[in-house]
């Protein structure tokens, strides 16, 4: 019997090459697995299966991981208002971590001798896949033909043709990776520090030019309704917001960051739902959380996003931070009102029974009901005491 290898299969040139190389050259029975984290339609899934079987794999499966992806990762990115470098909603970073886990589960299930992916040696994904595999199935060999042999596109195409696989692999002008939490876009512009992506590079083109109102309802930090329509699962609510907001070209930008392997990189992205939801959620938190809850959340959320990006999702500290984030959402319930415009959106305000901006305690800008002016005088004397001592002792030395 041949040895078994589970291949993370996207259907592109690199993973198509891997499928043939693993079976024809290395002699493995190849189990090709695609993990859908929101990037494939049913029709696309069928096409991927057909492609994999034509490449001679022993078995193909597509794992629908959208719900697991949301429950194990995306909802914490919402709870934490996570934007890497204040810009990027970690669309691909989060996806790869979940995809790698599902691939590892398949390898364990079938008793695979090896596990393979088509990453090159240049980016973050090789680390994300390898690290998850090494933790979840440490005794399974990791095979990475594209990285190990530094293959060119032409070499891969020629190899496939020699084995009778004649598919036309046209090199796209822009590489696009679509998922539930956003779509990454790479092209010649993102390989520079100067140029922005053109309109045609983004997969969602402008369909609406007149403003429209959007109402998002949260319950304990999760999206439960959109424009009055209730959703059983937040995944469906996210997809609805994506449909509405992407028609305006909302959520486009270029992220500049530090890769895990130590170099700077740029990636374009389009994340309409993520952009609107994170900002709407953050506004609701400003009204419903205390000052110190917000301060502590901000710090922990930054760490959570950084460690997720750095492939450290399985570190137990991530579960600790998730517990904090869940607890912080007890009062984050209510409605947020948004106006959508081409390329932008406006947060108009919120309604919540937990709104701490209440007229029970004062008329804003005019008077208060909880203290007097004399109370403030005494308070400022106490608070300023340590500062007075410091400045009187140091005088002109500072």
Q: Which residue has the higher pLDDT, 40 or 49?
A: 49
Q: What is the mean pLDDT of residues 324-343?
A: 98
Q: Report the SS3 class of residue 237.
A: helix
**What is residue 365's predicted lDDT score, i.e. its pLDDT?**
62
384 burial level (CB within 10 Å; 0-12, 13-18, 19+): exposed
Q: Tell me: the pLDDT tens digits for 154-181?
A: 999 999 999 999 887 778 789 899 999 9
| Res 196 pLDDT > 80 | yes
- Per the domain annotation, does 165 fall within a domain? yes
Render pLDDT for 79-90 as a digit per residue (tens, 0 to 9): 999 999 999 999
Do 13 and 77 sit in the same domain of this protein?
A: yes
Domain boundary among 171, 203, 220: 171
Span 19-36, average pLDDT: 97
At 64, which helix (H) or strand (E)? strand 59-64
Instruction: Give the pairing type, strands 175-179 and 114-116.
Output: unpaired
33 and 166 co-located in one domain: yes
Contacts of 222 (CB under 8 A, 6+ apart): 75, 78, 234, 329
Last residue of a domain, one of 126, 155, 171: 171
Residue 284 and residue 229 share a domain: yes
CB 178 within 8 A of CB 92: no
pLDDT, tens only, 250-298: 999 999 999 898 899 999 999 999 999 999 999 999 999 999 999 999 9
Domain assignment of residue 326, yes or no? no
**What average pLDDT score do residues 242-246 get?**
97
Average of per-residue pLDDT values in the chain: 94
Q: Give the confidence band of 371 by pLDDT, cuts at 50, 70, 90.
A: confident
CA distance 166 to 354: 62
Residue 197, token pair as written in the block: 């992506």
Q: Please report the pLDDT score of residue 362 as a whole number.
A: 64
Say if 110 falls within a structural domain.
Answer: yes
Spell out a b/e string for 75-113, using b for 16 or more CB atoms within 10 Å of the CB, else e: bbbbbbbbbbeeebbbbbbbbbbbbbbbbbbbbeebebb
Q: What is the pLDDT of residue 363?
A: 65
* Residue 364 confidence (pLDDT): 63
- How many residues are there in the chain? 398
318 closest CA partner among 304, 332, 339:
304
Q: 343 lies in which domain range?
A: 177-288+331-351
> Are 213 and 282 in the same domain?
yes
> Is residue 319 in some structural domain?
no
User: Does 235 reside within a domain?
Assistant: yes
What integer is the mean pLDDT of 110-139?
A: 95
* Final residue in a domain of this structure, among 147, 171, 195: 171
Check residue 366 and give its pLDDT.
66
Residue 396 has pLDDT above 80, yes or no: no
Q: Is residue 324 assigned to a domain? A: no
pLDDT of 114 higher than 90: yes
Look at residue 318 and tell me whether its pLDDT is greater than 80: yes
The answer to whether residues 163 and 191 belong to one domain is no
- Asked whether the beta carbons of 43 and 62 are under 8 A apart, the reply is no
Q: What is the pLDDT of residue 249?
A: 97
Query: Residue range 231-258: average pLDDT?
Result: 97
Assess whether 339 and 366 both reside in one domain: no
Number of folded domains that form the chain: 3
The least confident of 19-23, 171-175, 303-307 is 171-175
Percent of the chain at pLDDT exceeding 90 = 88
pLDDT at residue 43 greater than cutoff 80: yes
Is pLDDT at 395 greater than 90 in this prediction?
A: no
Domain annotation covers residue 294:
no
């Amino acid at each position: 019997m041949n040895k078994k290898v589970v291949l993370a299969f996207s259907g592109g040139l690199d993973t198509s090459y891997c499928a043939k190389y693993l079976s024809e050259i290395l002699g493995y029975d190849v189990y090709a697995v695609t993990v859908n984290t929101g990037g494939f339609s049913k029709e696309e899934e069928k096409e991927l299966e057909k492609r994999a079987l034509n490449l001679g794999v022993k078995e193909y499966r597509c794992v629908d991981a959208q719900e697991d992806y949301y429950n194990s990762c995306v909802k914490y990115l919402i709870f934490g208002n996570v934007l890497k470098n204040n810009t990027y909603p970690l669309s691909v970073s989060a996806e790869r971590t979940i995809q790698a886990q599902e691939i590892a589960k398949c390898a364990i299930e079938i008793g695979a001798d090896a596990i393979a992916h088509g990453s090159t040696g240049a980016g973050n994904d090789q680390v994300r896949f390898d690290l998850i595999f090494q933790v979840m199935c440490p005794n399974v060999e990791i095979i990475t033909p594209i990285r190990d042999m530094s293959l060119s596109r032409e070499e891969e195409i020629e190899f496939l043709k020699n084995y009778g696989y004649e598919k036309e692999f046209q090199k796209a002008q822009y590489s696009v990776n679509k998922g539930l939490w956003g779509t990454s876009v790479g092209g010649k512009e993102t390989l520079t520090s100067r140029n922005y992506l053109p309109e045609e590079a983004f997969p969602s083109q402008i369909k609406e030019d007149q403003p429209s109102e959007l109402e998002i309802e949260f319950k304990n930090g999760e999206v439960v309704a959109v424009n009055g329509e209730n959703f059983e699962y937040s995944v469906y609510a996210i997809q609805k917001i994506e449909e509405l907001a992407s028609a305006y070209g909302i959520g486009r930008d270029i992220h500049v960051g530090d890769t895990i392997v130590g170099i700077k990189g740029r990636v374009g992205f389009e994340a309409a739902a993520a952009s609107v939801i994170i900002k709407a959620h953050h506004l609701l938190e400003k009204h419903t959380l205390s000052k110190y809850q917000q301060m502590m959340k901000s710090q922990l959320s930054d760490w959570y996003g950084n460690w997720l990006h750095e492939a450290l999702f399985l570190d137990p500290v991530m579960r600790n931070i998730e517990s904090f984030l869940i607890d912080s959402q007890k009062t984050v319930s209510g409605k947020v009102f948004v106006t959508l415009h081409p390329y932008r959106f406006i947060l108009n305000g919120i309604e919540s029974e937990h709104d701490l901006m209440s007229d029970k305690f004062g008329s804003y800008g005019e008077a208060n009901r909880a203290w007097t002016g004399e109370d403030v005088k005494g308070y400022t004397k106490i608070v300023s005491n340590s500062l007075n001592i410091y400045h009187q002792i140091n005088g002109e030395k500072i």
